[in-house]
């Protein structure tokens, strides 16, 4: 199963697109099911800076990452993989209702990245001293319902998702409000979201079991938790095919997360700047 997941993620990182199928959090005029088969793709590259919330990891991390955006749809079914938004990722969906600016979708998506004693890169080799001895936390995949209401340049959505991957078997509830503001040739996108996580989710990723406990890492059993995110993006078309983009994402964690012995701080920030080629 991990081999197939790795192959899927590898393929997705080689492609990107301007979405006309899902665009899970941000509303635009093309946010509606397609008629028949439709797909779109492109590719970009960006430079990012972020700080890590895991103990022992460098609080300043930077590098180059692809700006991947792939959209495939067939009638009410869609696949959307979006890295142009910092909160983006892989979404599989089916549009149940799309009337009068209301939408009800069945969606499947990843919520939490996996990590182990090497940090966020579960395929790394260098063990981080402060994380040594913890068990591997796997990536999850969650399925559920999303209710959304679109306005002229904004959208509000609510989601209830449940893990079907067997990682934590818990639930996640997301709410998100976003707005798109065009100004001259610029397009500004901003959004704010609130997410709640079940006790099973929180304990799986941030709890410390008896087998992981050390003198410096006590047993920890958190309850339900939540996080607040703020996101901002700006895009500017340089010419017919090239688009300049930049973005900022901030996340703040509740006490049940940031008081975990393996969490170093109650927030995480990430910024990026890059170029995308539009076909």
- Is the CATH number 3.20.20 carried by domain 2-278? no
Say whether 111 sits in a helix, a strand or coil. coil
Taking a C-beta distance cutoff of 8 angstroms, is the pair 121, 113 a contact?
no
- Between CA 100 and CA 40 the distance in angstroms is 26
What is the structure's pLDDT at 27?
Answer: 53
Domain boundaries, the chain: 2-278
Higher pLDDT, 27 or 129: 129
Average pLDDT over residues 223-248: 94
Percentage with pLDDT > 90 across the chain? 62
- pLDDT-derived band at 9 (thresholds 50, 70, 90) equals very low
Mean pLDDT of 206-233: 96
Question: Over the stretch 38-63, which tens digit does the pLDDT of each residue have?
Answer: 887 778 999 999 988 899 887 788 88
Among residues 94, 112, 107, 168, the alpha carbon closest in space to that of 143 is found at 107
Helix (H, G, I), strand (E, B) or coil at 243: strand
> What global pTM score does this model have?
0.85
| Residue 249 CB neighbour total at 10 angstroms | 20
- Residue 172: exposed, middle, or buried by beta-carbon count in 10 A (0-12, 13-18, 19+)? buried
- How far apart are the two ends of the chain, measured CA to CA in Å? 33
Task: Please give the average per-residue pLDDT across 19-31, as a whole number.
Answer: 46
User: For residue 31, what pLDDT is reported?
Assistant: 43
**Under DSSP, is residue 163 helix (H, G, I), strand (E, B) or coil?**
strand
* 3 exposure class (CB count in 10 Å sphere: 0-12, 13-18, 19+): exposed
């Amino acid at each position: 199963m991990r081999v197939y997941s790795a192959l899927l993620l590898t393929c997705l990182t080689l492609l990107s697109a301007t979405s006309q199928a899902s665009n899970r959090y941000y509303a635009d005029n093309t946010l509606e099911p397609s008629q028949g088969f439709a797909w779109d793709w492109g590719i970009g590259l960006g430079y990012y800076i972020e700080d890590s919330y895991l103990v022992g990891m460098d609080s300043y991390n930077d590098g180059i990452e692809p700006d991947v955006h792939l959209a495939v749809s067939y009638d009410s079914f869609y696949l959307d993989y979006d890295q142009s938004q910092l909160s983006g990722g892989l979404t599989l969906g089916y549009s149940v209702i799309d009337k009068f600016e209301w939408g009800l979708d069945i969606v499947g998506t990843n919520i939490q990245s996996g990590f182990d004693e090497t940090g966020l890169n579960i395929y790394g080799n260098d063990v981080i001293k402060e994380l040594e001895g913890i068990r591997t936390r796997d990536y999850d995949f969650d399925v559920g319902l999303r209710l959304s209401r679109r306005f002229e340049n904004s959208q509000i959505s609510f989601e209830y998702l449940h893990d079907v991957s067997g990682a934590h078997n818990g639930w996640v509830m997301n709410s998100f409000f976003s707005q798109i503001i065009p100004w001259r040739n610029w397009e500004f996108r901003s959004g704010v979201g609130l997410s709640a996580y079940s006790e099973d989710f929180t304990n799986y990723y941030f709890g410390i079991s008896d087998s992981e406990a050390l003198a410096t890492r006590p047993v920890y059993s958190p309850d339900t938790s939540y996080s607040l995110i703020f996101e901002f993006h700006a895009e500017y078309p340089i010419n017919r095919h090239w688009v300049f983009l930049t973005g900022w994402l901030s996340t703040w964690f509740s006490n049940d997360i940031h008081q975990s012995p393996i969490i170093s701080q109650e927030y995480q920030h990430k910024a990026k700047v890059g170029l995308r080629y539009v076909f």
